[in-house]
Structure 1
Amino acid sequence: MTDRQQLLQDIKPLSFDGVNPDKPLVIAGPCSAESESQVLDTAKSLAKNGIKIFRAGIWKPRTKPGGFEGVGIKGLLWLQEVKKETGMLTATEVANHEHVIAALDSGVDILWIGARTSANPFAMQEIADALKGHNDVTVLVKNPVNPDIELWIGAMLRIYNAGVRRIGAIHRGFSTYGKHLFRNEPQWHIPIELHRRIPNLPILCDPSHMGGKRELIGPISQQALDMGFNGLIIESHCNPDCALSDAKQQVTPDSLNLIINTLVLRQTKQSTENLALLRQHIDECDNELLEVLSRRMAIAREIGQYKKEHNMQVVQAQRYSTMMSQRHNQAEELGMSGDFIETVMQAVHEESVRQQIRVINSNAL
C-alpha cells in the first residue's frame, strides 16, 4: 500500500459535538494566552457570538530570542477554565513530546502543529511517538514554511502512522523573502493539489498568518471558502492592539463575528468551481505583478539617487528606445501583442521617471 493510499484509507471528518457539520468549522482565539483574564474575556465573547472551539498558543516559537515565548504550562489551566465556564472545546499548538503530553493531560481537545515544526521530520516523529495510544485526539498540521507538498504530506503521514485518524491540514501560506502583500504567500495551487491527492482530508485556512493584517482576514477567508476549504482558524483577542504577539493580525471577537456573518457560503460549487479556481489564479498573478512592479520602482528610486549624485538627467532617450524595442520583441515571442506591451511599458516608464524625479528633488535647495 502506498503512502497516498494509506492516507486515503480511513481519515475521519472533523466533527465535534455541538458544532454544525453543515457549516464551515471556525476555530478562534488569541495568538497567545497572556493572562487568565485575557483568555477568559476573549473566550466568553467568542462563545457569546457562537464560536464553539477556542484556540490559544501556550508555547510560542519566536524567530529571535527575547520576545514573548508564551506563558507555558500554567496557560493550560486557563484553557481548562474556558471549557468549564463556556463549554467550548480547546485547541493549542504543540512542538515536542513534552507539549503533547502536557496538553493531553490537561484535556485539550485539538492539537495543531506549526509551520516551523511540520518542516522538521525529527520533530514530527517525536510528536507522533508522543501521540501513540491517543487515537481519538484531533491533530491539525500546518503547511511547512517552505512550499513543499511532500513534506506536508509526510508530516501528516507520521501522525497517521501513530494511530491518529482525526487529522486535518491547515493552509497558512508560505514564507518568502522581502516585502509582499501577504505575510505568507498563499500559493493556492498547493492546497488544491493536496486536495486532489487526498480528497477526504479536511483542510482549514489560517487567514491571520497568511495575511498578517486584520483587514485581509475577511477577503482571504472568502477565497478559502470559495475554493471549498472546510473551515477557518482565526486569531481573535479581546484587546488586539495590546497583544504580546502578532497584534496586527488579530481582531476583536465582535469584528470576527462581523467577518463571519458577511462570508458567503456557495451552494452550487460544482458548476462554478473551475471558474473560481481560474479566477484565483488570476488574483495570484495580479499579486505577483504588483510585487514585481514594487521592486521595479524601488530600483528606479536607486537609479534616481545615482543620477542625483552624478548630476545626470532623468530621461535617457536611447536607453528608453532600446528598452521598448526589446520588450516589444519579447512580448511577441511570448505570444502577446507587442503594441499592448508597449502601452504597458510606457505607463511603467512614466511612473519610474516620476519616482526618480521625486528622489532627485528631495532635499533640494
Structure 2
Amino acid sequence: MEIKEHNFFSNLAGGHSRPFIIAGPCSAESETQVMQTAEALREQQVDMFRAGIWKPRSRPNTFEGIGLEGLQWLGRVKRELGLRVSTEVANARHVEEALKQEIDVLWIGARTTVNPFAVQEIANALNGANVPVMVKNPVNPDLALWIGALERVYNAGITDVAAIHRGFSSYEPSKYRNVPLWQIPIELKSRFKKLPVIVDPSHIAGNRELLLPVSQKALDLGFDGLMIETHPDPANALSDPEQQVTPAGLQEILSKLQVRKTNYDDQELINRAEKLRLQIDEADQQILRALARRMQLVEQIGHYKKQNNVQVLQISRWKEIFRSRPDWAKELGMNPAFVAELYRLIHVESIRMQTDIMNKEEE
C-alpha cells in the first residue's frame, strides 16, 4: 500500500498540533438523540460525527441498530450542522445504502475484519467509489489479518484508508474490555509509516473511567486520532452504556489531554538523548551476550537430556522459573509482568532448541 502523504484524515485535523477526533453515540437510537449529540459536538469542533446504524451483536434479541432510517438522520447532521459523518458497514448492501446517502467516511468493524470473504465483498462494493474507509483491527491479535483487510480495501481503489485500533479480546483477566496490546498497532505503523492509525479508547477501556488514560497513552505513542463514543444520556443507551460519555464528559477528557512534541527541538536535548541511546545500545549488547551464554547452557542440558533419555519439558522447572524470575524483578525495581512474559519467550525458545537436539540424528 502506498499511502498518500496528506490524506483525508490528516487534512481534517490541525496537523500534529492536535489529534483527529471522531465522536458520537455507539448507536443511532432516535433522530432527537442523534441531532442533540451532534449539535453539542459541533460546539467542541470535533472532526467527524460517528454513529452505528447496523450493530453486530453477540446474541440475538438485543438492539442491532436502527437500520436505514438512521442513515437519513446522519444525512441531516451533515446538511444542517456541517459535520462530516461516519458509520460502520458489514456487507455490500450497507455500502450501497451509505453511499446513496453520501456518508463521508465508512468503517469496517472488528467482527467483519476477521472474515476475508466479508471484507472482499465490501471491497468489491466500494470499487469505483470516492470515499475514505477506516478498518478496525480484528477481534483477535492477528496483524496479518488486519493488514490483509486494509490491502483488500486499498486494492479496490480506496487510497484514503486508515486503521482503527480498538483492542483485542482475551480470556485473561484484565481491567480493559479489550486489551490494547500496543505493540501490534505500533508494528502496523512501523510498516506503513503514512497510514493514519486512530485509537478507539471506548472499546479498549469498556468503561468511561479509563477513557482519559487510554486516550493519553494513544497520544503519547504518536497515534493520529481518537474515536470516543459520546451519548447525551449514557446510562440509558441501548448499547454499551458503560463506555460512553456525555458531550460534557468528552470535553473534559479532551481538555486534559496533552499533545507531545514529535521530536526534540533543542540541540542540548538532542545531544543528551543521543548519549543515553548509546548507553542503551551498550546495555543491549550486554543483554544479548548474557542471553547467548544462557542458550549455550540450554544446548548443553539438551544434549544431557538426550544422552539420558529424559523428556524436554520439565514442568517443575517451568513453574520454578515463572515463580522466581518475577520475584527477582521486584527486587531490581522492574515490572514483574514484563519479566514473566520475557522469560516465557526465552523458555519457549529453550524448549524448541532442546526438541531439535532430541530429534537430530547422530552423525
Q: Name the TM-score, length of structure 1 as normaliser.
A: 0.73
Cα 1:141–1:335, aligned 2, differ >3 Å: closer, same or farther? closer
1:83 deviates by 1.0
Report the Cα distance in structure 2 between the residues aligned to 1:57 and 1:267, rounded to whole angstroms. Answer: 34
Query: What SS does the corresponding residue of 1:61 show, helix, strand or coil?
Result: coil
The answer to whether structure 1 residue 109 and structure 2 residue 100 are counterparts is no
Counterpart pick for 2:162 among 165, 168, 174: 168
Query: What SS does the corresponding residue of 2:8 show, helix, strand or coil?
Result: coil
Counterpart pick for 1:13 among 7, 11, 16: 7
Query: What SS does the corresponding residue of 1:82 show, helix, strand or coil?
Result: helix
Matched with 1:150 is 144
The answer to whether structure 1 residue 330 and structure 2 residue 324 are counterparts is no
1:267 deviates by 1.4
Q: CA offsets per residue over residues 87-138 of structure 1, 9 Å max, x none? A: 000000000000001001101001011000011000000000000011x311
Report the Cα distance in structure 2 between the residues aligned to 1:337 and 1:16, rounded to whole angstroms. Answer: 46
Matched with 1:233 is 227
Cα 1:339–1:199, aligned 2, differ >3 Å: closer, same or farther? closer
Q: Which amino acid aligns with 1:267?
A: K
Matched with 1:264 is 258
Matched with 2:300 is none
Report the Cα distance in structure 2 between the residues aligned to 1:338 and 1:34, rounded to whole angstroms. Answer: 50
1:85 deviates by 1.9
How do 1:56-75 residues align onto structure 2 when only pairs under 5 Å count? 56-75=51-70
Matched with 1:201 is 195
Q: Which amino acid aligns with 2:92?
A: H
1:196 deviates by 1.1
- CA RMSD after TM alignment: 2.9
Q: CA offsets per residue over residues 217-275 of structure 1, 9 Å max, x none? A: 11000000000100001100011111000000000011101101110000144578x99
In percent, how many aligned pairs have the same letter?
Answer: 50
Report the Cα distance in structure 2 between the residues aligned to 1:106 and 1:336, rounded to whole angstroms. Answer: 59
Q: Which amino acid aligns with 2:248?
A: D
Report the Cα distance in structure 1 between the residues aligned to 2:56 and 2:138, rounded to whole angstroms. Answer: 14
Matched with 1:82 is 77
Report the Cα distance in structure 2 between the residues aligned to 1:211 and 1:139, rounded to whole angstroms. Answer: 24
The answer to whether structure 1 residue 98 and structure 2 residue 93 are counterparts is yes
In the alignment, is the contact (CA less than 8 A) between 1:14 and 1:166 conserved in 2?
Answer: yes
Query: What SS does the corresponding residue of 2:67 show, helix, strand or coil?
Result: coil
Which runs of 4 or more aligned residues in structure 1 lie more than 6 Å from their structure 2 counterparts after TM superposition? Answer: 325-329
Counterpart pick for 1:214 among 205, 208, 217: 208
What are the ranges of 5 or more consecutive residues in structure 1 without an aligned counterpart?
A: 1-6, 279-324, 346-365
Q: CA offsets per residue over residues 120-178 of structure 1, 9 Å max, x none? A: 000000000000011x3110000000100000000000001100000000000001125
In the alignment, is the contact (CA less than 8 A) between 2:123 and 2:153 conserved in 1?
Answer: yes
Report the Cα distance in structure 2 between the residues aligned to 1:32 and 1:329, rounded to whole angstroms. Answer: 49
Report the Cα distance in structure 2 between the residues aligned to 1:17 and 1:335, rounded to whole angstroms. Answer: 46
Report the Cα distance in structure 2 between the residues aligned to 1:337 and 1:167, rounded to whole angstroms. Answer: 46
Cα 1:94–1:340, aligned 2, differ >3 Å: closer, same or farther? same
In the alignment, is the contact (CA less than 8 A) between 1:12 and 1:167 conserved in 2?
Answer: no
Q: Name the TM-score, length of structure 2 as normaliser.
A: 0.73
Matched with 1:32 is 27
Counterpart pick for 1:223 among 217, 221, 224: 217
Which deviates further from its counterpart, 177-186 or 26-35?
177-186
Cα 1:67–1:133, aligned 2, differ >3 Å: closer, same or farther? same
1:329 deviates by 6.2
Which deviates further from its counterpart, 122-131 or 43-52?
43-52
Query: What SS does the corresponding residue of 1:99 show, helix, strand or coil?
Result: helix
Report the Cα distance in structure 2 between the residues aligned to 1:114 and 1:157, rounded to whole angstroms. Answer: 15
1:51 deviates by 1.4
Query: What SS does the corresponding residue of 2:2 show, helix, strand or coil?
Result: helix
Cα 1:50–1:149, aligned 2, differ >3 Å: closer, same or farther? same
Number of aligned pairs? 287
